[in-house]
Structure 1
């Protein structure tokens, strides 16, 4: 039995769900930026139905804006904030027994480097080897890293825009009915296939997503740093009860 999942989607709307179902997906993992875990869980539950399982997750921004390393964590029991050191986040994921996926390795200044991957290989459950925002050489580098570290691969749409959903997914060779089943499949490294569109639509998706990336790193970055006040996922936010106050990087 094959279970088709898109393990990293940043947006969740009726249109996203419609596109996911049209693409034949069984599940998507919803991990929006700068959104606390309870809100992610609530929204994911609201959009799940018998035809599409929506699983909540957090892409945690470790480090500072200048040198941040993103890590995707599924199955968290307790919230983990952004803007804490990578080692603090990884220790927390390990403590909670979370499923840890590495998106876009060694991409720009937002990713785990090879040294990080080697250091935390025993915590990491899979490495992304195809990302629609990548150029071919980025994907080749990611595949080489997964092979050299003997870590299972995955791919996702990494959809920041609804139109990107369906351009890539991971087909797991497992019978999966619940979120717990999916986490177990990743944790156990079950056989899988990495499936993606590499035709004209993929490249138009890449162009659109890279345009969104430029926005994220210009106006949106200025807005978050200087205009919007304390991020809801800042480690010193009241929601974290002071647990991460000393770990905040700014």
Structure 2
């Protein structure tokens, strides 16, 4: 089966593996880059049927994976073969290969979701229920993402919704730069170790100096917080 090689690779990841370890492991097995966004890169399997989405820092990853599993019966989300959190706040999802959808079709699909029409009612229930919990649990959780690029087509040509949840990057990173103590107080160090290493393919580039300055600010805030336990 197409997923067997991915399952074998996942079994080779150490418990403390981060996004670099995952990226290296899959590339050495012949998986090829096939896309990148602001939060993650994608590697496609040698047979072309499966994709690994690897993020250095993605707080919403577990909620997205939960949606894919919860709404799997609808056929309106990608088929998720595996999900694994990575050290430092990263996220790894193994899913079916998807291709771009026509923008008009994507906009229409988003409209169906926004209206809660019967044909997407089960999907909408899952989206809203999980999003409500994400907003309660996750610092800087953004609203639902209605970007047309988040609607794609599966191998059987069906329309699917991807990545509807996201951390409010502009607000989060602006706070990290201007008030790092606020970020340190709300996101544990282990869950943000690589937050300056997201690709920012669409919103970037992100100067190395700015990344380093943010890291120094967060490190200093961690040091100030350490005496408080």
Q: TM-score, normalised by structure 1?
A: 0.24
TM-score (norm 2): 0.25
Task: Look at both structures and tell me which one has the larger radius of gyration over its CA atoms.
Answer: 2
Quick check: which one's helix share is greater?
Answer: 2
Structure number with higher strand proportion: 1
